[in-house]
Amino acid sequence: MARSIDADVGPEDIDIIHRFKKGNRQPNPIIVRFNNYYSKKEMYYSRRKLRKLNVRHTSGAEKIYVNENLTAQRAALFKKVRNKKRLRQGWKVWTTDGKIFVKPDLSIDDRVIRINSVDNLEKL
């Protein structure tokens, strides 16, 4: 997959890779642990190119998504941020290195806000 999205990641950059059962999802998600931060970053930032690929012939899935494996607390907070995003047009939300970021209104300015808690979210 890394080759198809032009990510400079090879087998030597991966520590371990396996499927894990998470609910009734089919096929089960795959989790990858990288040997170094730079390989992880390369793969994570190249993931946008997956939108343009037809992966059905290789994986059997419609699409492949690359997401961070957040802690339960961070995942719950990120879900709340995404829910608030649905109510507000123009918001962009994402995670990087387990941190949650929001860009409130794309047309006003370029400020990016880091969300550490529900309190930070409620202030927006």
Domains in the chain: how many in total? 2
* 37 alpha-carbon distance from chain centroid: 15
Same domain, 10 and 35: yes
Same domain, 50 and 80: no
Same domain, 82 and 47: no
Same domain, 10 and 50: yes
Provide the residue type at 7 as one letter: A
Question: Is 66 among the domain residues?
Answer: no
pTM (two decimals): 0.74
Same domain, 80 and 51: no
**CA–CA distance, 7 with 39 (Å, rounded to integer):** 8
Same domain, 51 and 8: yes
Question: Is 12 among the domain residues?
Answer: yes
Q: What is the pLDDT of residues 79-122, one digit of tens each?
A: 999 988 888 777 888 999 999 999 887 666 678 889 999 998 88
Q: What is the pLDDT of residues 30-70, one digit of tens each?
A: 888 989 988 888 888 887 777 776 665 555 566 777 888 89
Same domain, 97 and 118: yes
Range of the domain at 44: 3-59
3-class secondary structure per residue, the chain: CCHHHCCCCCHHHEEEEEECCCCCCCCCCEEEEECCHHHHHHHHHHHHHHHHCCCHHHHCCCCCCCCCCCCHHHHHHHHHHHHHHHHCCCCEEEEECCEEEEECCCCCCCCCEEECCHHHHHCC
Same domain, 92 and 52: no
